[in-house]
Amino acid sequence: MRVRVVGAGVVGLTSALCLAQAGHQVEVVAATTGNGTTSSVAAALWYPYRAYPRAEVTRWSATTYQVLRGLTADPSSGVRMRSGRELFRQRTSDPWWRDAVPELGRVAVERLPPGYVDGYELRVPVVDMAVHLPWLLGKLAAVGVVLRVGQVDDLAAAFEGVDAVVNCTGLASRRLLHDETLTPVRGQVVVVAQFGLSEWFLDQNDPRQLVYVVPRNDTVLLGGTAEEGDEGLDVQPATSAAILERCTELVPALGQARILSHRVGLRPGRPSVRLETEVTDHGPVVHCYGHGGAGVTLSYGCAEDVAALVSGLS
């Protein structure tokens, strides 16, 4: 089939790749690419966060885990397996997404920082988005997928010359489709230069806000915030200072780290990921948006489902 994918974030690009690999003729059209996408802001730690429903999220996350682990064989993909610790201030049962990972251990008491009483210890893929998004574009070009920069104001217009449209516009589906169930969940992060950190850290229960420290190839990403309904894209200096303070409490070596940049992104929050076919007067639209704080974690799993839905149309 001839397919047009609207959107060049991680969801659009992985969908386009799976579609091309399934034998479809694919074009991607997107208003922004690379650094202009929310996907480029992601810490891109494999972790099912603020995405629903749980059963599907666990299945998509499990698939993505395996695909990303496979990509670590190619260092140019920007994907690495990294061990890390999620820390808790009270005893905690296994996470609902436990089945998505092959192994999940408990942090030994002597490895719990002060103030914490429990923790998960696990090895997961971490994706350097500054590397992976261009890598995906290179893969797409190699299999003949054309990328066009352009705004789509009405999905009906996206059908010109194609049999099916795949909608991967993330939070922008709120305006494009008047989907009022989408909510921005603002996230601000601080990017510092790598200083030899290999392990990631996460604390979702700090009463002040989220805390995460995620090492990538040349940088370490510090977060964060999850401000529901806030659409402000400007960097808030007080928020950056608070992020640095919380992260440095957890990883004291950050006190010496060189700050490179501050970034803000709006997670596409939705009560459930929308991954389904809608039959319109102009042809079939496969929607894939609303991945919340887990678009990278769900990407390849969802992309496989997108390709299966499109293949099922013919």
- Positions touching ligand FAD (CB under 6 A) are 6-12, 29-33, 37-39, 41-45, 47, 151-152, 168-170, 172, 176, 187, 189, 223-224, 265, 267-268, 289, 291-297
Closest CB 287 distance from ligand FAD, rounded Å: 11
Round to whole Å and give the CA distance between 234 and 24: 40
* Cα–Cα distance measured from residue 80 to residue 44, given in angstroms and rounded to the nearest whole number: 11
Q: How many CB atoms neighbour CB 240 within 10 A?
A: 17
Q: Which is nearer to ligand FAD, 69 or 114 (CB)?
A: 69
Phi-psi region of 95 (alpha: psi -120 to 50; beta: other; left: phi over 0): beta
Closest distance to ligand FAD from the beta carbon of 265 (Å): 3
Measured from the CB atom, the residue of 190 and 257 that comes closer to ligand FAD is 190
Measured from the CB atom, is 115 or 148 closer to ligand FAD?
A: 148
Shortest Å distance, C-beta 313 to ligand FAD: 22
Residue 43's closest CA among 204, 155, 228, 175?
204
- Return the number of the residue (90 or 129) whose C-beta is nearest ligand FAD: 129
Residue among 168 and 250 whose Cβ is closer to ligand FAD: 168
Phi, psi of 136 (to 5 degrees): -60, -40
Q: How far is the CB of 303 from ligand FAD (least distance, A)?
A: 10
Residue 312's alpha-carbon distances to 19, 286, 299, 307, in angstroms, are 12, 11, 20, 8
Rounded to the nearest whole angstrom, what is the least distance from the CB of residue 162 to ligand FAD in the complex? Answer: 15
How is residue 122 written in tokens?
Answer: 């696990």
Nearest to ligand FAD of 107, 294 (CB atom): 294
* Tokens 């704080």 sit on residue: 293
Q: Which is nearer to ligand FAD, 115 or 280 (CB)?
A: 280
Q: How far is the CB of 16 from ligand FAD (least distance, A)?
A: 11
Residue 239 vs residues 42, 69, 142, 242, 260: alpha-carbon distances, Å: 17, 33, 41, 5, 16
The H or E element that residue 129 is part of is helix 129-142
- Terminal-to-terminal C-alpha distance of the chain: 7
CB of 110 to ligand FAD, least distance (A): 28
DSSP 109: G
In sequence order, which ranges of 143-235 are alpha helices (DSSP H)?
173-176
133: Cβ contacts below 8 Å, ≥ 6 apart: 10, 13, 33, 34, 37, 39, 40
Q: Least distance (Å) from ligand FAD to the CB of residue 91?
A: 25
User: Which residue number, 114 or 246, has a Cβ lying nearer to ligand FAD?
Assistant: 246
Which residues, listed in sequence order, are joined to residue 148 by a DSSP beta bridge?
A: 29
Of residues 110 and 234, the one with the C-beta less far from ligand FAD: 234
Q: How far is the CB of 105 from ligand FAD (least distance, A)?
A: 20
